[in-house]
Amino acid sequence: MRTVRVGVVGAGNMGADHVSTLHRWVSGAEVTRVADIDADRAAAIAAGVPGARSTDDAHALIDDPEVDAVVIASHDTTHADLAVAAVRAGKPVMCEKPLAPTVEECVRVVREERRAGAGLISLGFMRRFDPAYVELRSAVASGTCGAPLLVHCVSRGVSSAPGCTDEFSVTGSAIHEFDTVPWLLDSPITEVSWHAPRPTSAVTGLRDPQLMLLHTADGALTTVETFLNAGYGYDVRCEVAGERGTLALADPARLVSDATRARSTAYPADWRPRFADAYRLELQAWIDAVAQGRPSPLATAYDGLVASVVAEAVIASMKDGGRTIAVRVPEL
Amino acid sequence: MRTVRVGVVGAGNMGADHVSTLHRWVSGAEVTRVADIDADRAAAIAAGVPGARSTDDAHALIDDPEVDAVVIASHDTTHADLAVAAVRAGKPVMCEKPLAPTVEECVRVVREERRAGAGLISLGFMRRFDPAYVELRSAVASGTCGAPLLVHCVSRGVSSAPGCTDEFSVTGSAIHEFDTVPWLLDSPITEVSWHAPRPTSAVTGLRDPQLMLLHTADGALTTVETFLNAGYGYDVRCEVAGERGTLALADPARLVSDATRARSTAYPADWRPRFADAYRLELQAWIDAVAQGRPSPLATAYDGLVASVVAEAVIASMKDGGRTIAVRVPEL
Amino acid sequence: MRTVRVGVVGAGNMGADHVSTLHRWVSGAEVTRVADIDADRAAAIAAGVPGARSTDDAHALIDDPEVDAVVIASHDTTHADLAVAAVRAGKPVMCEKPLAPTVEECVRVVREERRAGAGLISLGFMRRFDPAYVELRSAVASGTCGAPLLVHCVSRGVSSAPGCTDEFSVTGSAIHEFDTVPWLLDSPITEVSWHAPRPTSAVTGLRDPQLMLLHTADGALTTVETFLNAGYGYDVRCEVAGERGTLALADPARLVSDATRARSTAYPADWRPRFADAYRLELQAWIDAVAQGRPSPLATAYDGLVASVVAEAVIASMKDGGRTIAVRVPEL
Amino acid sequence: MRTVRVGVVGAGNMGADHVSTLHRWVSGAEVTRVADIDADRAAAIAAGVPGARSTDDAHALIDDPEVDAVVIASHDTTHADLAVAAVRAGKPVMCEKPLAPTVEECVRVVREERRAGAGLISLGFMRRFDPAYVELRSAVASGTCGAPLLVHCVSRGVSSAPGCTDEFSVTGSAIHEFDTVPWLLDSPITEVSWHAPRPTSAVTGLRDPQLMLLHTADGALTTVETFLNAGYGYDVRCEVAGERGTLALADPARLVSDATRARSTAYPADWRPRFADAYRLELQAWIDAVAQGRPSPLATAYDGLVASVVAEAVIASMKDGGRTIAVRVPEL
């Protein structure tokens, strides 16, 4: 089985993590190129991998004959064009979510992909590879809890990034649930509505937390709480309540500690410790598929489009007083 | 301190429980009379308490000079008239929820009480005396989690009673949350909406589970899930998420068991084991107040009215496609 | 059913707690007398109970015609004489553990009791009334975990009292396990040995923590860890491992809190919150038995003797390099 | 960085797992040879790895120029000779525990290794790479719980293999703790004793469960329970109690399920799901060290010798009525 030579576009936190994961932990992968508009940053990241070279030209990386497959982890606004370029070059691409900032652009990418080579684009919805989510999905599918009726999702973080907008809770955080819930239930989201308490005083001028209701075609109802400034830790929860019982993600902490009048488990400060294994397993699955010429088991460009359609519907509800909005995926 | 002689109206499950609790566990109380429209049932329950006599006439019980205070645990439709009769007799009364089946009747009772002797009626919202809820309220008030923003409540049971209606999830189950949440947050409910997935197939023709959204005057948003036919057990949860952290009721199980590939804690089949202590503490607090001539620390008739107003608003939303409904407590 | 008039000897923490519990929470009991060698302390405690009078003469209290039953919560060295006096007065007595500081004295009390009126003495091993221990025992007896093979007990506290001795871990702390384990397993302790790590540096000159091994007649092996200066909280654990599974006490916390990167439950600073309910239920069971002239369901004087015999055997092992010592209960 | 070509000796469960892990999950490794005395079994396992060839001659594998490094997972009695052969061939070797069945043989291997090329042998004590144990050790070292005083270890399995002996609980199960505890505490075991309840009736003629006490040079006392036929699941626990608090491994389950009156998490049937990640991380760490010519971070041959010395001391105690036995590592 040949080694897959990977070019990584974007040398920010996400890209640097992917470079490191591919290099250190993924069997059968070799990072050969790193691109970033900031050439120094690209060079710094490439320096950590023997044999890797850097560039400030993402398109050069895509066309490089020493690159078999491309990871896109650059700014959201660049995803669509780079993905299309990779597809046209006939190279498999693993694009971080979102596929593109707007539904229109997502549609364009999916159309281009269908024309040029269906299945070349994989989308980085890594929760599909998180062992706990995988176990949850498998248990739901096996009927352990009976037919699902309610799903309760919670995504909390310590604090939002500067300049965070009301929409980011939807497009940057809840979008994971927009992909995960249909994948868990094997049923698409059909209707959504948006709700919120008064905002936390931790940040001025931001609607945080938010609460979204999602109806899926199977009749289940999902609540999604996003709370970017929850303060106490990074905490992702999911419970599926069905006709016979429930299934929920367990507290992922590895240690229990007794000290100063309390028994406690620790929360991480951000998503990295929580989903490090999911990213590793996602990249390994992608590399294995590329190496063996099999279809990618990751989320597809179309999945990315659908998640963006849901996000736009939720934002429409946010701007229309919490009205219920139907989800309509455009014809392709 | 004198012993309080209590007459209990209603010898069904709830009344029989109160008789037994007052007799066995409450210091300073003596059950002297038991009334039920079914004279045999009244007699059977009274037979368990040395010195207690039975009757099929609730009004005779209320007027009996050997009755200092009255517990009303008869059919919901009788609560209002009996409570008014007790008030007119100048006797403290502990009335099971609801105060009355309609808001109009609740209003009438509250008006009668104000006229005849404010403070004579206590309402049996026993969660206010459950040690876990009391600890939760106290921790919220002390600022442990910061100002509350979201409350997530879940009330699940094994199965609904025969003939259960869609409204019962609201008036019989969620009504506890309609009292508990304002008491926890120290803020009244101002707006509500009603939502639901497809119903469970466990029962035909019943909207179960249901999901209600409650807005309180402090700006917090509460989700209330009721699931009468959850199947797996009686399970009441409550989490308050505030600006600095969260507080939630812990799993109340006393044992952890390892067997057949699982570590587990048990759920009770119904509310009795879960809230036995709450009922005992509620009755003890009521008897102490009566004995010492102090104001009752239980929920008031007005609290019962307010809970019924919220229930009617939620039912209005149920019948109007989930529209948001404002909660308006009538002028008295 | 008549009210039982109780005289409480000892107005320290334990006695004051019993007075308050009997007065506020126990149905059918009335505290009429409080005795303490410190007359002011007795008066202060009696002042909290309408109708109660105080004395500095414990024997006068025992002989008082207004005292139907006696609680002994005075200094350990006084237990034996007071218990014997109460027995001779023909009055039921609830004596705090230990029955007496030495096995010899315990033997004397048991003999006196047999002569004067068997069954008058109850011993305050309150864990037998703790709802969690009761549930554990019942589950063990029902065969849930199969025949017991191993029991792991842990008793940790925040800090030891000034002047605490090595023996106190055995006679003041582990003695609860010496009663509880045979009661749980329905099998007496036959052999013991004592072990320890280096002592904690929190206290100078005290062997703390300690580890005891107990063999019971059924063949099970029990480990008992006592750690008086564990620092973090009051924490009592018990796990029974049998041929088919295990049963253990669950964390008794009522709330779960998320804050500052941790999910946590709280430990109390001492035994009071943990065992308040056990004391209440123990006293209620004792009062009920006294009122109805039934045999007391509490631990007996003989149980107290047996626990003291085990304690002496453990101390003998402590003083003999951890040698295994057989437990021999004297002939009576 | 060059790919490390690995030859795996032993194609039983353990060897097959290592082949699969190296092939699928370890970056920088390539399985080139598989040896087993059963040629068919070797061929079957090799068939799963493109490019791998099989043999029934372990020594031929060790000497094969296409093998850079050797994994030994064959029968325990073969470990010593194969490890020595690999050392003589100048090749790094990862040998499953035990290094050899007797202390004498372990001594021989360590001496041979010192002569031929110190550091070539790594020992497969994979718990050192389990993320939970790693986190535990790091937290202990950072002083989170204060200086350790007590360690409580529990190793339970569903059932023992046919022909299992009393000694196997020590040499096959507790031996993990004999390595892990000194590694956790950074202090060697100095004294041990062996204890047991009556055996489970699940298996005839086997002393199971067993309880061992270990004293370490730092003064801490460790309890090790092994229970091969615990029946309910594979369950490994470890708690360190120190002067300021405790640290313990959390329940590793990923899901919580509510069903049929119980909330539960699942136990695996054997060690594979529990330690799959530990094996992967161990092999990755070993391959990284080999590829980069760095010292192996795994347990050493000397660690394996020490663990065997402890095991022999425990067995000596088992055969001598639980007497305390000093641990003496032979001079080399």
- Going by C-beta distance under 8 Å and a sequence separation of 6 or more, which residues neighbour residue A298? A94, A122, A123, A124, A125, A128, A129, A282, A285, A286
| Residues C282 and C225 placed together within one structural domain of the fold | no
B129: which DSSP letter? G
- Pick D144's closest partner by Cβ from A29, A244, A257: A257
Spatial separation of the C-alpha atoms in residues C203 and C208, rounded to whole Å = 8
- With respect to residue A332, please indicate whether it lies within any of the assigned structural domains: no
C298 phi-psi bin (left φ>0, alpha ψ -120 to 50, beta other): beta
Of A200, A202, A243, the CB nearest to B200: A243
pLDDT band of B1, cuts 50, 70, 90 = low
Q: Do C257 and B248 touch (CB under 8 A)?
A: yes
Q: What does the buried/exposed string (b/e) look like for C230-257 if buried means 16 or more CB atoms within 10 Å of the residue's CB? A: bbbbbbbebbbbbbbbbbbbbbbbbbbb
Predicted confidence band at D118 (pLDDT cuts at 50, 70, 90)? confident
Q: Do B197 and A211 touch (CB under 8 A)?
A: no
Q: What pLDDT score was predicted for residue C2?
A: 80
Question: D232 near C244, Cβ under 8 Å?
Answer: yes
Average pLDDT across chain A, whole number: 97
- Note the pLDDT of residue D149: 98
CATH number, domain of D86, equals 3.40.50.720
A223 neighbourhood in chain B, CB within 8 Å: 211, 223
Which residue segment(s) compose the domain that B8 sits in? 4-126+275-299
Contacts of A156 in chain B (CB under 8 A): 241
pLDDT at D263 over 80: yes
How many CB atoms neighbour CB A325 within 10 A? Answer: 20
Q: Kindly indicate the confidence band of residue B253, based on its pLDDT and cuts at 50, 70 and 90.
A: very high
Residue D133 and residue D196 in one domain: yes
Question: Before D98, cis peptide (omega within 30)?
Answer: yes
Q: For residue B31, give the nearest of B56, B4, B58, B64 by alpha carbon.
A: B4
Report the percentage of chain B scoring pLDDT > 70: 100
D156 & D83 share domain: no
Among the partner residues A150, A220, A245, nearest to B231 by beta-carbon distance: A245
For the residues of A310-321, what is the DSSP string, one character each?
HHHHHHHHHTTT
Report the alpha-carbon distance of residue B233 to residue D159 in Å, rounded: 32
Do both C101 and C145 map to the same domain? no
Question: Are residues A89 and A168 located together in one domain of the fold?
Answer: no
For residue D232, the chain C residue with the least C-alpha distance is C245
Is residue A2 over pLDDT 90? Answer: no
For A234, the closest chain B residue by CA position comes to B245
Dihedral of alpha carbons B105, B108, B112, B114, sign:
positive
- Distance from the A127 Cα atom to the nearest Cα atom in chain C, whole angstroms: 22
**Sign (positive/negative) of CA torsion C290, C295, C301, C307?**
negative
Look at the block and give the residue holding tokens 């007590």: D150
Whether B150 contacts A211, CB under 8 Å? yes
CB contact under 8 A, D232 and C211: no
User: Is C264–A269 a contact, with Cβ atoms under 8 angstroms apart?
Assistant: no
**How many helices (H) and strands (E) would you count in chain D?**
10, 16
Contact B220 A198 (CB under 8 A): yes
Pair (B159, B248) in one structural domain: yes
Please report how many Cα atoms fall inside a 13 Å half-sphere around the Cα of residue B194, on the Cβ side.
Answer: 24
What integer pLDDT is reported at residue B117 of this predicted model? 73
Average pLDDT of span D125-152: 98
Average pLDDT over residues C246-255: 98
Predicted confidence (pLDDT) per residue in D65-77, tens digit: 999 999 999 999 9
Q: What is the pLDDT of residue C332?
A: 87
CATH number at residue C147: 3.30.360.10
Cβ contact D255:D180 at 8 Å: no
Mean of per-residue pLDDT scores for chain B:
97
- A1 pLDDT more than 70: no
Tens digits of per-residue pLDDT, B141-200?
999 999 999 999 999 999 999 999 999 999 999 999 999 999 999 999 999 999 999 999
pLDDT of D1 strictly over 70: no
Query: What is the pLDDT, as a whole number, of residue D311?
Result: 98
Per-residue pLDDT at C83 exceeds 70: yes
The residue among D257, D258, D265 with the most chain B CBs within 10 A of its CB, best to mutate, is: D258
Tell me how many residue pairs between chain A and chain B have CB atoms under 8 A apart.
Answer: 88
Question: What are the chain C neighbours of B152 within 8 Å (beta carbons)?
Answer: none
pLDDT per residue over D219-245, tens digit each? 999 999 999 999 999 999 999 999 999
Task: Give partners of C (≥3 CB pairs < 8 A).
Answer: A, B, D
For the segment A256-314, what is each residue's pLDDT rounded down to a tens digit? 999 999 999 999 999 999 999 999 999 999 999 999 999 999 999 999 999 999 999 99
Residue B240 lies inside a defined structural domain of this protein: yes
Note if the bond before C209 is cis, omega within 30 degrees. Answer: yes
Distance (Å) of CA C158 to CA A279, C97, C175, C227, C229: 43, 21, 18, 9, 5
- Taking CA atoms, C59 is separated from B97, C12, C117, D117, in Å, by 51, 18, 18, 84
**Contact indicator for C199, C206 with CB cutoff of 8 Å:** yes
Share of chain B above pLDDT 90, in %: 98
pLDDT, one tens digit per residue, over C260-282 is 999 999 999 999 999 999 999 99
- pTM given for the model: 0.97
pLDDT over threshold 60, residue C1: no
**How far does the CA of residue B65 sit from the closest CA of chain C (Å)?**
21
Q: What is the pLDDT of residues C186-220, one digit of tens each?
A: 999 999 999 999 999 999 999 999 999 999 999 99
Residue in the structure block whose two tokens are 């790895």: D49
Angle CA(D212)–CA(D216)–CA(D217) in degrees, nearest 5?
A: 160
| B60 interfacial to chain D (CB closer than 8 Å) | no
Residue among C220, C230, C246 whose CB faces D241 most closely: C230
CA distance to A153, B213, B320, C160, C309, per residue, from B195 (Å):
16, 8, 11, 56, 65
Within this chain, do residues D112 and D167 fall inside the same structural domain, yes or no?
Answer: no
- Contact at CB, A258 and C269, closer than 8 angstroms: no
Q: Does B147 share its domain with B236?
A: yes
Side-chain-facing half-sphere of C201: CA atoms under 13 Å = 7
Peptide linkage before A297 cis (omega within 30 of 0): no
What φ, ψ does residue D37 adopt, rounded to 5°? -65, -25
> Does residue D194 lie within any of the structural domains?
yes
Hey, are the CB atoms on C263 and A269 less than 8 Å from each other? Answer: no
Mean pLDDT value across residues A171-188 = 98
Which of C158, C229, C243, C267 best probes binding to D when mutated, by most D CB atoms within 10 angstroms? C243
Report how far residue B61's alpha carbon sits from residue B42's, in angstroms, rounded to the nearest whole number.
12
Residue C152 within any structural domain of the chain: yes
In-domain check, residue A26: yes
Nearest to C243 among D152, D231, D244 (CB): D231
> Whats the size of chain D, residue-wise?
332
Q: Do D197 and C209 touch (CB under 8 A)?
A: no
Asked if residue A252 and residue A149 are part of one domain, the reply reads yes
Average pLDDT value for residue range A91-117? 94
Count interface pairs B-C at CB distance under 8 A: 99
In chain B, residues 230-289 whose CB comes closer than 8 Å to chain D: 230-233, 235, 251, 253, 258-269
pLDDT band, residue A332 (cuts 50/70/90) = confident
pLDDT in tens, D26-70: 999 999 999 999 999 999 999 999 999 999 999 999 999 999 999
Neighbours of A (≥3 Cβ pairs closer than 8 A)?
B, C, D
Does C290 fall in a domain?
yes
pLDDT, chain C, mean: 97
Checking if the pLDDT of C149 tops 80, the result is yes
| Residue D99 CB neighbours (<10 A) | 33
Number of alpha helices (DSSP H) and beta strands (DSSP E) in chain A: 10, 16
Specify if B331 maps to a domain.
no
pLDDT value of residue D332: 87
D280: closest CA of chain C, how far (Å) = 29
3-class state of residue B71 by DSSP: strand
Own/partner pairs, A317-321, CB within 8 angstroms, 24+ separation: A317/A192, A317/A193, A317/A194, A317/A212, A318/A166, A318/A167, A318/A170, A318/A194, A318/A207, A318/A210
pLDDT in tens, A150-176: 999 999 999 999 999 999 999 999 999
Same domain, A187 and A168: yes
- Residue from B60, B13, B15, B12 nearest B38 by CA: B12
Please tell me whether residue D223 adopts helix, strand or coil conformation.
strand
Q: Are the CB atoms for B324 and B191 separated by under 8 Å?
A: yes
- Shared domain check, D176 and D91: no
CB atoms C144 and B259 under 8 Å:
yes
User: Are both D134 and D89 inside the same structural domain?
Assistant: no
Weakest-pLDDT range from B1-5, B87-91, D38-42: B1-5
What average pLDDT does chain D have? Answer: 97
- Nearest chain B residue to A146 by CA distance is B200
Q: How many domains does chain D have?
A: 2
Q: Is the dihedral of CA A140, A144, A147, A150 positive or negative?
A: negative
Which of D24, D249, D254 is facing A255, going by the closest CB pair? D249
Q: Is residue C14 part of a domain?
A: yes
